[in-house]
Each structure stands twice: as C-alpha cells, then as structure tokens.
Amino acid sequence: MITNYGDQVRVRRAGNPLEVDDVIVEQLLEGEWTKVLAYNSLSSDTAYTDARGFAQRLQKRLPAANPS
C-alpha cells in the first residue's frame, strides 16, 4: 500500500511488522525515495495516523513543485 502526499512525500507499508518497522514515510530526494521516518504497526496502535500526520506536515514545509 502506498499513499502519496503530493509529488515528493509518500507513506508506504512494507515488510513484516514482526521483523521491521512496516509503516514508512519517504521523501523524494534527488530522484530516489528516501526513508525519513518509520513506525511499527504492532507496537503502535497509531502508526498509520502518526505517519500520515508527519507526511502531511513534511509536504507543507516543502517548496511547491515547479510545473514543466
């Protein structure tokens, strides 16, 4: 599952929550998606809500993309 918050920020779910943080906030930097923050959905009941909130705040701080 991937949810985009603008062109430069997304939240995705990946991996087994028993082994890794599975809710990941990523930012597009120099053409590559880079992990900014991660949560584990088993240890946090609010992992998705927290990730969404962080992604929305991050997107608001970024400059608007220039239309081509």
pLDDT in tens, the chain (68 residues): 899 999 999 999 998 999 999 999 999 999 999 999 999 999 999 999 999 999 999 999 988 765 55
In a domain, 56, yes or no: yes
Whether residue 66 lies inside any domain: the answer is no
Range of the domain at 44: 2-61
Residue 68 included in any domain:
no
String of DSSP letters for 16-34: -TTTS--EEEEEEETTEEE
Rg (the chain; Cα; Å): 12
3-state SS, residue 8 = coil
Count structural domains, the chain. Answer: 1
Q: Tell me which amino acid residue 54 is.
A: F
Q: How far apart are the first and last CA of the chain?
A: 28
3-class secondary structure, 59: helix
* pTM confidence score: 0.86
Q: Please provide residue 42's backbone torsions phi and psi, each rounded to the nearest 5 degrees.
A: -80, -30
Is 24 inside any structural domain?
A: yes
